[in-house]
Chain A
Amino acid sequence: MSRPLRLSLGGAIDRKKPVNFQFNGRQLCGYKGDTLASALLANGIHLVSRSFKYHRPRGIFASGTEEPNALVQLEVGPRTLASHQATKIKLYEGLKAFSANCWPSPAFDLLGILGFFHRILPAGFYYKTFMWPRWGWKIYEYLIRHIAGLGYCPRQPDPDRYDHMNAHTDILIIGSGPSGLAAAIEASHSSARIIIVDENSKFGGRLLSDNSKINNKSGPDWAAQQESILASNPNVKMLRNTTAFGYYDHNLIGMIENLTGPITGVKDKKRQRLWKIRAKQVVLAQGAFERPLVFSDNDRPGVMLAGAIRTFLNKYAVIPGRRVALFVNNDDAYRTALDLNAHGVEVVVVIDLRKEATGVLPNRTISEGIEVVEDAAITGVIGKSHVKKIEVMMLSEDGKSVQGEKRFFDCDLIGISGGWNPAVHLHSHTNGKTVWRKDDGVFIPGKTLQNIISIGACSGNFSLQSCLKDGWTAGKKVVKLTGFSSKKTNSPKDTENIPEQPWRNIWIIPSNAPAGQNDKHFVDQQHDVTAADIQLAAREGYQSVEHTKRYTTLGMATDQGKTSNIPGHAILAEILGKEVSAIGTTTFRPPYTPVTIGALAGPYTGLLFAPIRRSPMHYWHESNGAIWEDVGEWKRPWYYPKRNESMRDAVARECLATRNSVGILDASTLGKIDIQGPDSAEFLNRIYTNNWENLEIGCCRYGIMLREDGMVMDDGVTSRLGKNHYLMTTTTGNAASVLAWLEEWSQTEWPTLKVYFTSVTEQYATITLSGPNARLLLEEFTNDIDLGGGAFPAMQYREGTVGGFRARVFRISFTGECAFEINVQASGGANLWANFVNAGEKYGITPYGTETMHVLRAEKGYIIVGQETDGTVTPYDLGMNWIISKNKDFIGRRSLNRPDTARDDRKQLVGLLPNDKTEILPEGGQIVSQLQATYPIPMIGHVTSSYHSPILGRSFALALIKGGKKRLGQTVHVPLVERTITCQVTSHLFYDKEGHRLNG
């Protein structure tokens, strides 16, 4: 039996706590503290998934957020998560994970056959291969969508809960590696409020992965010590398992804290918390991502970043391979060789791209007896589903080709390192520029206007000593910048400083044949973008990084190109013969890592999704079987069906009862704005199209308000309650916007007018009694208001007592019947309503909803703003010339004379009567004047409202038709999919044209 893959000592795992989990149905065991990736490696499993396009076998490539390959479908049922990185999932008891993108298994995947068809799947294949025949795309798309994709969504609602939290802080430190910790410790000597976050559950960052020493303490021990110092400071808030995913304007940082679930390994309670943190100063200490090398078949399972090997070895005590070859261009990667050797793992060879490897670390490696081959490259990887052997050749003088004898080395793990890329993502979110540092070929943070200090590896200072120094300096600086002072300061800590030799960047590692001919040099492993794809794009004329990215999909996968962007851009630059800085880099945008929709929605789902507004009579409606219509945030009764009654029957019954006796409507939701001040009349004059100077106290007037472009914005009745006191009503949906409109004009344009607005919508319950018996019923409820037609005519208002409540009674009718709108204090509404219903029984009083209200008003040709109007309709279009005052200015007046607004072929409001009285036109139906055999038929308008009228015994509609006023009496058609409805154009007044009923 060979040696176990788990070290017996060391690492941040708890060997006393085994954790059982399943991978592709196989029962496996890891330890508390493991990630799914480290536990799989400890079980000897490298092959995790298949790739996106070619379905090539893929293994674990990295150890953290940058992982492009090891994607799994996590769990089943409503909690399933697609495309989750095995390197980010904390192991928990009972975890179930499945390989992404393969069937039936990652080892034997039927679609692996796609790899043989790579010639028809080049860059931009969507636009090339599948373009013929033309009709074929629908079929191809269906197939492609089923083959591609890296997982599936849950089909059931999310059972978990999510939370939102806002916070303000003086100093926010993102990242808890050596530089972030040093900055936090230094800043914590002041009284500034500090938040420090890390995406992992332990602070320390790279210190937990590397075998380093600070003040004679091991990296993890030093980090733990700093963590406990910070934890004891009440000014410091520490957020673990928290990823800063976006940096927004004015130093607002969005973060996701994982409370339970796969990132923390904790079950139950809330899943995630979305933090919105506003900071005075931000310290970015996000670290760096190791850069892969682009060589032949570099995607084989068993190819792993050199730094990730150290993480698995030192942090998780896992040996990811028994015979390891390293392929590097820098000194840092030799640490992997030294660490492996120290644990007794065989390092077969180190292949170094550099002409000579003479630094301290290479020399140590050689002195430990490990072979180092300089000026050479891996030119081939043998082993499809796992690395077995590498082929190595010497580089030519310019590094662009290989030469000499092939050498072969047996190995089961290849550690690669092309240097490190600073994680400039958050800096980039702020529109911060990045600067190309030519010496080692990295983008470092440049100018930004936000209050950011980037330190340590994410600013391009990779050595431990410079990270610590950066941290101390930044800590002092942010304390000062936020206006605090430090009580004491510490000098930079003592750590080994090993000088390193420069890197050698060769962006495409040459092999025996041109890249892409016999093998693949992968740049973006998650999207299967190869060096040959980028070369092809460049040959086809792509010059800009932004275009090449979209054409090849480089860096557009869920990992956002964390490992692939820089090599990809550098390859493009090289082909175009330009500097990398000249072709630019793509702009990173939030989110840095995928964010769940659940976290963004937070607690605002279900009943909390939007507020519900209920009228004072809501519960009467509810217990009397009302069907609801949502109007804005309001619940309004739509209709009140009796047992087994259809909507049409219910509405017909409600309509006839109102026309023939008395109906009762809850109108409390109408917007009510109390207007007071000596200049109220003048103000109304400017807002409304008609005249308000001459409105007597106790009278009401209908008004239309326009936007400055002359289009109808809202309508309603305004009553004069006193000398300087008016009550304006608005449509239910526009109450808030009309109030805002009045306030805007009064504050910005006419500040000298003394007029004040208060919304009183919710202070009053409004009950409308409508119909020939409305007066008789109301008379039973009041002694102090004379309701006689002579004493209290239509469009007037009286105050008095109704059913024991102080009431404002308006004779305003939206049905065309004699109607009274009774306003009492909101708390009295339910009581008064019930009393009306009881007392009205003898008249067959019938509660009616919005649908009946709509039918009744349409019979009278009354418009509804938002139904007959859509923001392109003037009062002239509606035939309301009578409401336009000729002798004053008002908002929108000048626009009514604009040539386009004054055209006489504009769409105008008319009535439609279908020839077939039973046909109800669909609202929104398009109207044509003539039917013809060839399409398109010119459309002349559309149906705005359409109903069956019980009182007329037929269907009818309102419509906007081009030049409609001149078309009265003409025949028009509404072509539908299965039939065409023919109608006559009529006046839009259908019932009681003289208004006898209303005024009676």
Chain B
Amino acid sequence: MLVIECPWCGPRSEEEFTNGGEAHIKRPSKPSALSDEEWADYVFMRKNTKGIFLERWSHSSGCRRWFNAARNTITNEIAAIYHINEKPPKEIS
């Protein structure tokens, strides 16, 4: 059970959050211009990273805000938390 530091509410238990999968997947601005493969890549394909993984979380039982986290999938350490529309901190990427 992780402790996740919500950027708005501070450290709270994982029970209050919902995981939203891989972060920084931008919805294509012109989906109709994409090939089937390119579209399928956006819709279905996700990384399965061993190590630092950039992912989205929502404080669904709290402030209901989305944010990004950099979590080590081996150790579950959370290296950074940053706003949903921010780039990951330099030391992470």
Contacts and interface: CB of A to CB of B under 8 A. Distances in A.
A744 B30 CA distance: 20
Given A250-B1, A751-B85, A894 B58 contact: no
B1 A252 contact: yes
B77 interface: yes
Nearest to B56: A748
A894 B40 CA distance: 10
A740 interface: yes
A249 B76 contact: yes
Interface string B47-88: 000000000101010001110000000111100000011000
Contacts of A250: 1-3, 76
B89 interface: no
Contacts of B27: 708, 749
How extensive is the interface on chain B, given as a class? 20 to 34
A889 B40 CA distance: 17
A679 interface: no
Contacts of A895: 39, 43
Residue of A748, A749, A895, A898 contacting most chain B CB atoms (<10 Å): A748
A889 B3 CA distance: 39
Nearest to A889: B31
How extensive is the interface on chain A, given as a class? 20 to 34
Interface in A745-765: 747-749, 751
Contact of A894 (B20, B26, B39, B76): B39
Given A431-B75, A740-B58, A889-B31, A747 B65 contact: yes
Please classify the interface of chain A as helix (H, G, I), strand (E, B), loop, or mixed, using the class held by over half of its residues: mixed
B34 interface: yes
Given A449-B75, A748-B84, A751-B84, A248 B1 contact: yes
Contact of A747 (B2, B26, B44, B84): B84
Interface in A463-482: none
Residue of A276, A747, A893 contacting most chain B CB atoms (<10 Å): A747
A894 B31 contact: yes
Contact of B43 (A276, A449, A708): A708
Given A889-B31, A898-B36, A744 B75 contact: no
A743 interface: yes
B39 A744 contact: no
Interface in B16-35: 18, 20, 26-27, 30-32, 34
A214 B56 CA distance: 55
Contacts of B3: 250, 252, 278
A431 B20 CA distance: 25
Contact of B64 (A743, A889, A898, A899): A743
A786 B13 CA distance: 54
Contacts of A894: 31-32, 34, 39
Contacts of B40: 898
Interface string A761-798: 00000000000000000000000000000000000000
Interface in A728-749: 740, 743-744, 747-749
Nearest to B27: A749
A897 B44 CA distance: 15
A868 B2 CA distance: 38
A674 interface: no
A709 B75 CA distance: 32
Interface in A76-130: none
Nearest to B74: A431
A743 B84 CA distance: 13
Contacts of B84: 747-748, 751
A747 B20 CA distance: 12
Nearest to A743: B64
Interface in A882-896: 889, 893-895
Contacts of B18: 740
A248 B1 CA distance: 6
B32 A889 contact: yes
A173 to B, nearest CB: 20
Nearest to B4: A250
Residue of A248, A249, A709, A740 contacting most chain B CB atoms (<10 Å): A249
A992 B30 CA distance: 42
Nearest to B23: A748
B36 A449 contact: no
A894 B31 CA distance: 6
Given A740-B60, A747-B65, A893-B31, A898 B39 contact: yes
A747 B75 contact: no
B20 A744 contact: yes
Contacts of B2: 249-250
Nearest to A450: B75
Nearest to A752: B85
A248 B18 CA distance: 19
Contacts of B30: 889
A748 B44 contact: no
Nearest to A251: B3
Contacts of A893: 31-32
Given A740-B58, A889-B31, A899 B36 contact: yes
Contacts of B20: 744, 748
B79 to A, nearest CB: 12
Contact of A744 (B32, B58, B76, B77): B58
A751 B42 CA distance: 20
A252 B14 CA distance: 11
A276 B66 CA distance: 26
Nearest to A431: B75
A667 B40 CA distance: 39
Nearest to A166: B13
B61 to A, nearest CB: 11
A587 to B, nearest CB: 14
Contacts of A708: 27, 42-43
Contacts of A276: 1
Contacts of B26: 749
Contacts of A751: 84-85
Given A249-B76, A709-B43, A898-B40, A744 B66 contact: yes
Nearest to A740: B60
A897 B66 CA distance: 30
A239 B76 CA distance: 29
A898 B64 CA distance: 33
Residue of A252, A740, A894, A897 contacting most chain B CB atoms (<10 Å): A894
A897 B32 CA distance: 9
Contacts of A744: 20, 58, 66
B28 to A, nearest CB: 8
A708 B21 CA distance: 15
Interface in A868-912: 889, 893-895, 897-899
A966 to B, nearest CB: 25
Contacts of B43: 708-709, 895
B35 to A, nearest CB: 10
Interface string A243-274: 00000111010000000000000000000000
A747 to B, nearest CB: 5
A889 B18 CA distance: 28
A749 B43 CA distance: 14
Contacts of A889: 30-32
B60 A747 contact: no
24 contacts: A249-B1, A249-B2, A249-B76, A250-B3, A250-B76, A252-B1, A252-B3, A278-B3, A449-B77, A708-B27, A708-B42, A708-B43, A743-B58, A744-B58, A748-B85, A749-B26, A749-B27, A889-B30, A893-B31, A894-B34, A894-B39, A895-B39, A895-B43, A897-B36
Given A249-B76, A250-B2, A898-B40, 18 more contacts: A249-B2, A250-B3, A252-B3, A278-B13, A431-B74, A449-B75, A708-B42, A740-B60, A743-B58, A748-B20, A748-B66, A748-B84, A748-B85, A889-B30, A889-B31, A893-B32, A894-B31, A894-B34
The 10 closest A-B pairs by CB, nearest first: A894-B31, A449-B75, A747-B66, A250-B3, A249-B76, A252-B1, A894-B39, A708-B43, A748-B66, A248-B1
Interface of A: 248-250, 252, 276, 278, 431, 449, 708-709, 740, 743-744, 747-749, 751, 889, 893-895, 897-899
